[in-house]
Structure 1
Amino acid sequence: MARAAIVVLAGTDTHADTGRLVNALETAREFAETDGDEGLLIFDGAGTQWIAELTDPDNEYHDLYRSVRDEAAVCEYCAGAFGVTESVADAGLDTLDDHDGHPSIRSLVEEGYEVITF
């Protein structure tokens, strides 16, 4: 059994950012499809901007996002800082605010998660 926290930090500005997002989604899906594995998908920093785009059914990666959406959460502080709080709420995603408004990476490590950033 493997446990991973997949953290999307890449914004929406460049082709390279899109590549990092897709790799994160593919990694999250691989964990979701493997019996006994546990994966969390966390949108943090500029990565929170992806929520509005990925929830659009016309987005090229919408179906991939939907395949891992149940494992996803968003940094509460960063959603506010990047102006996407409403998009996150509309998407029905949980927000994480364990450490000064941000997800606690330390707690994830303590709980045995490997942290993978994209």
Structure 2
Amino acid sequence: MTAQPTAFALFAYRQEPGCFIHVLLNGLDLDDKGHPVKIILEGPATTLLSDIDSQEAPLPALFKKASERNLIDGYCLACATKLGARDDAETSGLAPLSDMSGHPSVASYIQKGYTVINF
């Protein structure tokens, strides 16, 4: 009997493009190795959606690749709203996540079997 691969929910909090690049790289690497992955933009990271295409390489290409693989689960609706990034977040086509008082619930990912990692 083969063990199920571990599922990971990667919560990106920081606004720094370099940090988000590492979230995307790790998400893509885990996916390549057969692990279910969801990437969630929280807090200041939601503001990165406003100019993702104008960021320096490799961020736009990695974001596109992760999006095409459906690894990005969505963004925090409350944080995007509070930080003035809601319009850009909506334009991105990503899902607004708000199941915990307007924020994505870590507990809901754990209940679905994901191991949560915060970046």
Q: TM bucket by the smaller chain?
A: 0.7 to 0.9
Name the structure 2 match of 1:77: 78
Moved over 6 A (4+): none
TM-score, normalization by structure 1: 0.86
CA distance in 2, matches of 1:32, 1:43: 18
TM-score, normalization by structure 2: 0.86
2:63 to 62, 65, 79: 65
Q: How many residues align?
A: 111
Measure how far apart 1:103 and its partner are: 0.4
Question: What amino acid is the match of 2:51?
Answer: E
Question: What runs of 5+ residues in structure 1 fail to find an aligned partner?
Answer: 12-16
Q: Secondary structure at the match of 1:107?
A: helix
Name the structure 1 match of 2:46: 48
CA separation of 1:99 and 1:64: change in aligned 2, threshold 3 A: same
Q: Percentage identity across aligned positions? A: 23
Q: Secondary structure at the match of 2:116?
A: strand
Alpha carbons 1:53, 1:59 under 8 Å: kept: no
Measure how far apart 1:31 and its partner are: 2.1
Structure 1 vs Structure 2 CA RMSD: 1.4
2:9 to 5, 9, 12: 5
Q: Secondary structure at the match of 1:64?
A: helix
CA separation of 1:85 and 1:2: change in aligned 2, threshold 3 A: same
Measure how far apart 1:117 and its partner are: 1.0
Name the structure 1 match of 2:113: 112
CA distance in 1, matches of 2:113, 2:32: 19
Q: Secondary structure at the match of 1:103?
A: coil
Name the structure 2 match of 1:87: 88
